[in-house]
A and B are shown apart, each in its own frame.
Chain A
């Protein structure tokens, strides 16, 4: 299996707070990788480093063997990194379709002039983009919602739309920040199946931040536990589940001692 992403000794400090601390991390092609850890462990910050929103304070990130630390987010989108957000960040006043088209923006070639006068090649490109967007919306289960304004969609649909928008950029690596947050058990179950389907059908790797242990343990190929910015455990779900440091980080030392008794 080949490596898609590799973080080497990555740290990100905010003033004196070290949110991510000399983290080594790899993602294989076509895999589902989860990062778990208590609130404030640095999970989202690590996402922000990988997607280019923050430049790492130390260390570097390689994507397909290329050093990407210091690249801007829009450049990274072009080479295949896409994400969703912990709190949904759709373009609220745009329709579902338009949200998807924004995701495709960087792949469309029309110049500003072409854009205004719309000669046949531009029209064809636009038609193709619309068709692809319709397919994508259908793929995530939003058929029929093309013209709905994003902010009026039900919560679960907004989550799906956000994923569809990320998929529209044609990612090799898709980062999902707590995709099941605020979902009921049924919706969560659907999301689990959907994330699997993504890995199997769309030739991409997924990096997932998730608090729901059931989700993490069901779908992950690899689980990594962060605490105070440091990696404290890593492995297959069954291995990590048994790790004492993980239980301690999650439930506290007292709980660990009680469990031992």
Chain B
């Protein structure tokens, strides 16, 4: 394979990994917007919370680095579940304390509150973990699946010579990231499509008052939505930590903006749209970082956001409510 093709292939892999964790964050944005028409600006900071709290849990347990054996197969999922529960609960609490009293207020009120919550969370993280980059230990073993003796000999038996694929790498970490993000995205979509609570969520998203008058406890549905969205953002933060191995108290802001853009791109309020948008943005980011220059990536992404808002505010797959209503 030529160098150019290898670079491209590597960028595709990066795009998919970025898309995966963005999708987990974007889902929370879109679900909350779908139900209470709130752009939850603090949502990205839940992602950061997932990063910090999982780091804290690991530090308490203090396992050998990298994780192996039982630690890899039991401790890791355990920490992931605990992180999801804690981040989900935090999001639930934020909603109950900060947004619920404003349910009938004009839309700008909860929106500004969300901005305020975001500042508060970031300030808390800065005090808790310090204002500089926080290292996340390399708990997850990294092994390349492509530049690897066994794999090379396996492929050569099939008549494929991959020894020249020096630039491409697909590591255990990539596999780990996909095996967390993709099943969760699918599980959430199935949950919303197939289950009774999911149906109730969709009903609330379409007409909250009518849903209430059909006997649905709308407050409980909203709470479920915040919990689920928070849990997904939380696990995304943990996966990011294990993958990138560093983060900072403001990390939620940047990730949140990209996830928000993904949600708008796909059609805010639309579950599949958020996933599609996340993978498109992930891919654009990877390509832009590599071919245009990473200093331009934000310009490219937010340029797309602006164009989308101007020319097709309901997004690629169509939003449940147009964002114009904001």
Chain A residues close to B by CB (< 8 Å): 51, 53, 72-74, 77-78, 82-83, 85, 89-94, 98, 101-103, 105-108, 110, 112, 115-116, 165-166, 168-169
For A72, list chain B residues within 8 Å (CB): 212
A169 to B214: give the CA distance in the assembly, Å. 7
Given contacts A74-B218, A89-B207, A92-B206, contact A105 B212 (CB under 8 A): no
For A115, list chain B residues within 8 Å (CB): 195-197
Contact B196 A94, beta carbon cutoff 8 Å = no
Contact B218 A102, beta carbon cutoff 8 Å = no
Contact B202 A74, beta carbon cutoff 8 Å = no
The residue on A at minimum CB distance from B217 is: A74
- Taking each of B195, B206, B210, B320, which has the highest tally of chain A beta carbons within 10 Å of its own beta carbon? B210
Task: Kindly list 12 other residue pairs between chains A and B, CB separation below 8 angstroms, not including A93-B206, A98-B199.
Answer: A74-B213, A74-B217, A77-B213, A82-B213, A91-B207, A93-B320, A102-B211, A105-B216, A106-B214, A108-B196, A115-B195, A116-B195
A64 to B209: give the CA distance in the assembly, Å. 24
User: Lowest 4 A-B CB distances belong to which pairs?
Assistant: A77-B215, A106-B215, A115-B195, A89-B210
Task: Number of B interface residues at 8 Å Cβ cutoff, please give it.
Answer: 22
For A94, list chain B residues within 8 Å (CB): 199, 202-203, 206
A82 to B207: give the CA distance in the assembly, Å. 16
For A165, list chain B residues within 8 Å (CB): 214
Contact A73 B196, beta carbon cutoff 8 Å = no
A127 smallest CB distance to B (angstroms)? 13
Contact A91 B206, beta carbon cutoff 8 Å = yes
A100 to B150: give the CA distance in the assembly, Å. 57
- Taking each of A53, A91, A169, which has the highest tally of chain B beta carbons within 10 Å of its own beta carbon? A91
As a 0/1 sequence over residues 188 to 226 of chain B, the CB contacts with chain A under 8 angstroms (1 = contact) are: 000100011101101100110111111111100000100
A94 to B200: give the CA distance in the assembly, Å. 11
Contact B197 A102, beta carbon cutoff 8 Å = no
Contact A101 B213, beta carbon cutoff 8 Å = no
For A78, list chain B residues within 8 Å (CB): 215
Chain B residues close to A by CB (< 8 Å): 191, 195-197, 199-200, 202-203, 206-207, 209-218, 224, 320
A92 smallest CB distance to B (angstroms)? 6
Contact B214 A102, beta carbon cutoff 8 Å = yes
A204 smallest CB distance to B (angstroms)? 16
For B206, list chain A residues within 8 Å (CB): 91-94
The residue on B at minimum CB distance from A122 is: B196
For A51, list chain B residues within 8 Å (CB): 213
B152 smallest CB distance to A (angstroms)? 42
A163 smallest CB distance to B (angstroms)? 12
A72 to B211: give the CA distance in the assembly, Å. 12
Contact B199 A105, beta carbon cutoff 8 Å = yes
Contact B196 A85, beta carbon cutoff 8 Å = no
Contact A91 B210, beta carbon cutoff 8 Å = yes
Contact A103 B196, beta carbon cutoff 8 Å = no
A90 to B209: give the CA distance in the assembly, Å. 11
Contact B202 A91, beta carbon cutoff 8 Å = yes
Contact A101 B199, beta carbon cutoff 8 Å = yes
The residue on B at minimum CB distance from A106 is: B215
10 of the cross-chain contacts (CB-CB < 8 Å) are A51-B213, A74-B216, A89-B209, A91-B210, A98-B199, A102-B216, A105-B196, A106-B214, A107-B215, A169-B215
A34 to B224: give the CA distance in the assembly, Å. 40
For A103, list chain B residues within 8 Å (CB): 214-215
For A85, list chain B residues within 8 Å (CB): 210
- Taking each of A72, A74, A168, which has the highest tally of chain B beta carbons within 10 Å of its own beta carbon? A74
Given contacts A74-B216, A165-B214, contact A110 B209 (CB under 8 A): no
A161 to B34: give the CA distance in the assembly, Å. 24
Contact B210 A77, beta carbon cutoff 8 Å = no
Given contacts A74-B217, A91-B206, A91-B207, contact A112 B212 (CB under 8 A): no
For B199, list chain A residues within 8 Å (CB): 94, 98, 101-102, 105
Contact A53 B209, beta carbon cutoff 8 Å = yes
Contact A101 B196, beta carbon cutoff 8 Å = yes
For A92, list chain B residues within 8 Å (CB): 206
The residue on B at minimum CB distance from A109 is: B196
A51 to B203: give the CA distance in the assembly, Å. 19
Contact B214 A77, beta carbon cutoff 8 Å = yes
For B224, list chain A residues within 8 Å (CB): 112
A116 to B218: give the CA distance in the assembly, Å. 20
The residue on B at minimum CB distance from A83 is: B213
Contact A73 B212, beta carbon cutoff 8 Å = yes
Contact A53 B213, beta carbon cutoff 8 Å = yes
Contact A102 B195, beta carbon cutoff 8 Å = no
A169 to B217: give the CA distance in the assembly, Å. 14
Given contacts A101-B196, A110-B196, A116-B191, contact A74 B207 (CB under 8 A): no
A177 to B191: give the CA distance in the assembly, Å. 34
Given contacts A89-B210, A94-B202, A94-B206, contact A112 B197 (CB under 8 A): yes
- Taking each of B209, B215, B320, which has the highest tally of chain A beta carbons within 10 Å of its own beta carbon? B215
The residue on B at minimum CB distance from A72 is: B212
A142 to B213: give the CA distance in the assembly, Å. 22
